Structure 1
Amino acid sequence: MKKWVAFALLGYVLFAFAAYYYLYVMAAGDIPEIYKGTSADPDMFLSQADQALSKDYSTVKNFLFFLSVPFEWLVYFLILVFGISRKFEDWSKQTARFSFLQTAVYLFYLSLLTFLLAFPFQYMSYHFSKAYHISAQSFPQWMKGELMDFWISYLIMTVLVAALYGLMKKFQKRWWLAAWALFVPFTVFLMYVQPVVIDPLYNEFSTLKNKELEAEILELAAQANIPAEHVYEVDKSKETNALNAYVTGIGDNARIVLWDTTLNKLNEEEILFVMAHEMAHYVKKHIYIGIGSYLLLAFFGFWLAAKWMERIIHKHGENLQIDRLSQLRTLPLLLLVLSMLSFAASPLSNAFSRFEERQADAYAIELTQNKEAAVSAFQKLAKEGLSEVQPPLLVKVFRYGHPAMSERIYTIETYPLETEKKEWGKVDTQKSQN
């Protein structure tokens, strides 16, 4: 056990040094030569001070990310090795008689401990967002959001974990398949209710107050054959100075949402491009494709987790004081395995997401026929959010579900619209005749 702990701690420290060296020494972040002098060149739309701020802020956020992910694994590992999980299970049995209540008590202890241990990383992330004028929240406002996250996650996890361990007891060999079968409708249900139940707990949503702009957006939606009746805005300016818009929900709860910061800082043509981009996700069924892909990955994730856990318990169960998989004390092991599998799959899921985002950008350009507004919109998004224009390779692979901003801007600037294709066709014809 001492060797396990020593190797885990040493491995984390070495990983932290490697991440620091990569981000602060190796990763230059230079843009490709082909982007120089174009709209994608940060020198064209960011001052040297803004570029320095963006570089510093992005590097700090990336470093915190690469520290926090393996730290989560380390925490779950130490909770297992030191017998803390077993102690939580014993306390839950002493506190409650019924299985569901025992799960609730156990999960409260585990959630509280992991929340407190991860809190320094969460606070550092908030601190730097505040220091670089991205976050607009006071500490009490931010802390309120963290506590809401804790309780909402705790309630959802209690239901999921109680159901999962019930299935483990009933289907000892095929529990992972039964768990996945239950996970499918739960995921769909959560996606359906999120816009109307969960999201309003954090922010106030309303139909777009600017009715002239809403009419323009709805006209654009009609061109895209989207049966939209309203566009929603959300009061994110009380939290952040960054800009964003997104599509959420499924079925009749599907919504296109604009942050009020986006409404305040982009002009009408830029907003129409952003809306066309979000409409593309609806038209091309990206939400449903995303759910399907997520559930497919979850299928293999549950299967691999089951095999991996069975092997670990068979080999090290005595040292970990675990007799069988269905004991609540195995939960940190399950969370550890699932987190590692999720991280390992993130390059694939991020690459697929970037592909969909490029599709949405192309659709928006075709719909609006306004490349200038698209370029200026992305430039403002980069400036206001201190976005990394050209992230290091490993950061892009593991963190970016969108193409790098320089890539998006350059692709849009060089995108051939129909009118340009016709002009190029005329030039080619003239050349061939000559």
Structure 2
Amino acid sequence: MVRKMGVFAVLGYVLYGLFFYWYLFYFAEPKLPFEYQGTKADPATFLNGRELSLSEEYSKIKNLLFFLSTPFEWVLYFLILLFGFSRVFKRWAASSAKYKIVQTAIYLFWLSLFAFMATFPLNYISYSFSKTYHISTQSFPSWMKDELIDFWIHFGTWLIIVPVLYWLMKKSNKRWWLYGWLLSVPFTIFMMFVQPVLIDPLYNDFYPLKNKELEAKILTLAHKAQIPAEHVFEVNMAEKTNAMNAYVTGIGGNARIVLWDTTLNKLSDNQILFIMAHEICHYVEKHIYWGMGGYLLLSLLGLYLIYRIMNWAVDRWGKELKINDVGDIQSLPLFFMILSILLFTASPFTNLASRYQETRADRYAIEMTKNPNAAITSFQELTRSGLSQVNPPLLVKIFRYTHPPMLDRIAKLEEYEIQQRNKEQ
């Protein structure tokens, strides 16, 4: 039975992968709707033939790797349970330490290390393709350093969460999900607060914007929006990527508006001011807080579903999965597998909410700057630098896109430009 379940899991993953390969490379050939052809949203008007070809090739590969990577985790955790690796990790932990808390830490380390090594090839392939298509400029040692930072941050975070969660399972096998969620609220707020000052600097150097003339223009926009900002932060990303980005991060006194130096190097001041106005909208409309509130509500539902699904799975397949009790640390791979499935399932809804916020931010930015040409050309340059698809396939948009596709964003800006021109006539 165990072998059969393992074969079905691997076969299901292979069929899933073949479906998305067919969907991305053969079925979902992106064709620009007729009404957009020749407009400023048409990539043929701002990308040359080679750039068009490269963007399609690169996008297909990156999308395929995305759809392969997450379900790979599900299969991995399932096989870890099915073939007794979780039991082995627990045995190693028990033989290495006397105290329960230390055993849990050792178990979590072995599980995290096994998952890291198993997923490393897909991560490296993704990095390698980014280098091949000149998106990434990062050296392998630098990339490996970031991967190891990721590993230790995730390990450290789960080292706080897992012992508490499994202690709650022992104390209340029917309400642990609720108590766990209540404890997660202050923890989530704390992590959001320290992210800009403790975690982000582990990957890159952050400093106030060097171009003081540009900073003054940005702060003028911020003051118009009644934001008490003193600095705009710049981060050195040119040594890692050719792509561009800007974002808002953190909450309270640690909230920051951040610009990648690649954005500063490739865009004009007017284009950057539009990008900054977009980010200012996220701050003004408190999108970070709305996002955090939505995340906490989803996490409440998610923990409840994990509680129900774990109990059902252990009752039905506990023997095959080598799990005697949900509260046993051996069930942790099952917890991770269900969590990953739920996050993937929820992504169309969270992405939809994010795209709505990004649409509002675009509208706010153009109303504030009233420079549609700078806005349109900035989006065109963002598309070029990241080799992004202007009009992605439907499933890609649903599961991957936290921002509206550039086709929609540029088309709306062009409509605004036409409206403004008509008003002036």
Does the Cα contact within 8 Å between 2:82 and 2:322 map onto a contact in 1? Answer: no
CA–CA distance in structure 2, aligned partners of residues 19 and 422 of structure 1? 47
Q: 1:416 to 1:385 in 2, by over 3 A?
A: closer
Aligned match of 2:355: 354
Q: Could you list the per-position Cα deviations for residues 257-313 of structure 1 after superposition, in whole angstroms to 9, with x for gaps in the alignment? A: 000000000000000000000000001110000000011111100001100000111
State the shift of 1:413 in Å: 0.9
Aligned match of 2:251: 250
CA–CA distance in structure 1, aligned partners of residues 309 and 150 of structure 2? 30
Aligned match of 2:82: 81
Does the Cα contact within 8 Å between 1:369 and 1:417 map onto a contact in 2? Answer: no
2:214 counterpart of 1:213? yes
CA–CA distance in structure 1, aligned partners of residues 93 and 280 of structure 2? 48
State the shift of 1:415 in Å: 2.1
Matches within 5 A, 1:58-77: 58-77=59-78
AA in 2 matched with 1:254 = A
State the shift of 1:379 in Å: 0.2
Q: TM-score with structure 1 length normalisation?
A: 0.96
Does the Cα contact within 8 Å between 1:244 and 1:258 map onto a contact in 2? Answer: yes
Aligned match of 2:320: 319
Matches within 5 A, 1:193-212: 193-212=194-213
Does the Cα contact within 8 Å between 2:302 and 2:342 map onto a contact in 1? Answer: yes
Residues 320-329 or 195-204, more deviating: 320-329
State the shift of 1:422 in Å: 4.6
Matches within 5 A, 1:295-334: 295-334=296-335
CA–CA distance in structure 1, aligned partners of residues 128 and 6 of structure 2? 31
Does the Cα contact within 8 Å between 2:354 and 2:402 map onto a contact in 1? Answer: yes
The alignment of Structure 1 onto Structure 2 pairs a total of residues equal to 424
Aligned match of 1:278: 279
* Same amino acid, percent of matched pairs: 55
CA–CA distance in structure 2, aligned partners of residues 421 and 80 of structure 1? 65
State the shift of 1:318 in Å: 2.3
Aligned match of 2:143: 142
CA–CA distance in structure 2, aligned partners of residues 369 and 321 of structure 1? 63
CA–CA distance in structure 2, aligned partners of residues 156 and 245 of structure 1? 26
AA in 1 matched with 2:290 = I
CA–CA distance in structure 1, aligned partners of residues 237 and 26 of structure 2? 35
CA–CA distance in structure 2, aligned partners of residues 389 and 98 of structure 1? 55
CA–CA distance in structure 1, aligned partners of residues 207 and 131 of structure 2? 27
State the shift of 1:240 in Å: 0.4
Aligned match of 2:165: 164
Matches within 5 A, 1:225-264: 225-264=226-265
Q: 1:417 to 1:229 in 2, by over 3 A?
A: farther
CA–CA distance in structure 2, aligned partners of residues 166 and 421 of structure 1? 66
Aligned match of 1:98: 99
Does the Cα contact within 8 Å between 2:372 and 2:417 map onto a contact in 1? Answer: no
Residues 123-132 or 3-12, more deviating: 3-12
CA–CA distance in structure 2, aligned partners of residues 259 and 325 of structure 1? 45
Instruction: Point out where structure 1 has 5 or more consecutive residues left out of the alignment.
Output: 425-434
State the shift of 1:224 in Å: 1.1
State the shift of 1:171 in Å: 1.5
State the shift of 1:319 in Å: 2.5
State the shift of 1:93 in Å: 1.2
Q: Could you list the per-position Cα deviations for residues 395-434 of structure 1 after superposition, in whole angstroms to 9, with x for gaps in the alignment? A: 000000000011110111102698557558xxxxxxxxxx
2:51 counterpart of 1:50? yes
Q: Could you list the per-position Cα deviations for residues 348-377 of structure 1 after superposition, in whole angstroms to 9, with x for gaps in the alignment? A: 000110000000000000000111000000
AA in 2 matched with 1:298 = S
Aligned match of 2:382: 381
Q: Could you list the per-position Cα deviations for residues 110-150 of structure 1 after superposition, in whole angstroms to 9, with x for gaps in the alignment? A: 01100000000000000000000011111111111111111
Does the Cα contact within 8 Å between 1:354 and 1:401 map onto a contact in 2? Answer: yes
AA in 2 matched with 1:262 = T
Aligned match of 2:397: 396
CA–CA distance in structure 2, aligned partners of residues 74 and 280 of structure 1? 40
AA in 1 matched with 2:103 = Q
RMSD of Structure 2 on Structure 1 (CA): 1.2
1:320 is paired with a residue of what secondary structure?
coil
Aligned match of 1:428: none
Q: Could you list the per-position Cα deviations for residues 181-224 of structure 1 after superposition, in whole angstroms to 9, with x for gaps in the alignment? A: 11111111000001000111111100000000000000011111
Residues 164-173 or 127-136, more deviating: 164-173
State the shift of 1:31 in Å: 1.5
State the shift of 1:90 in Å: 1.4
Does the Cα contact within 8 Å between 1:12 and 1:71 map onto a contact in 2? Answer: yes
CA–CA distance in structure 1, aligned partners of residues 145 and 7 of structure 2? 37
CA–CA distance in structure 1, aligned partners of residues 421 and 220 of structure 2? 25
State the shift of 1:30 in Å: 1.2
CA–CA distance in structure 1, aligned partners of residues 419 and 199 of structure 2? 42
Aligned match of 1:130: 131
Q: 1:417 to 1:226 in 2, by over 3 A?
A: farther
2:10 counterpart of 1:5? no
Q: 1:415 to 1:322 in 2, by over 3 A?
A: same
State the shift of 1:152 in Å: 1.4
Aligned match of 1:431: none
Residues 217-226 or 248-257, more deviating: 217-226
2:26 counterpart of 1:25? yes
CA–CA distance in structure 1, aligned partners of residues 349 and 35 of structure 2? 27
1:246 is paired with a residue of what secondary structure?
strand
AA in 2 matched with 1:31 = L
CA–CA distance in structure 2, aligned partners of residues 372 and 326 of structure 1? 59
CA–CA distance in structure 1, aligned partners of residues 332 and 364 of structure 2? 44
Does the Cα contact within 8 Å between 1:165 and 1:328 map onto a contact in 2? Answer: yes
State the shift of 1:320 in Å: 2.3
AA in 2 matched with 1:76 = Y
AA in 2 matched with 1:403 = P
Q: TM-score with structure 2 length normalisation?
A: 0.98
Which consecutive segments of 4 or more residues in structure 1 shift more than 3 A?
A: 416-424
Residues 167-176 or 318-327, more deviating: 318-327
2:247 is paired with a residue of what secondary structure?
strand
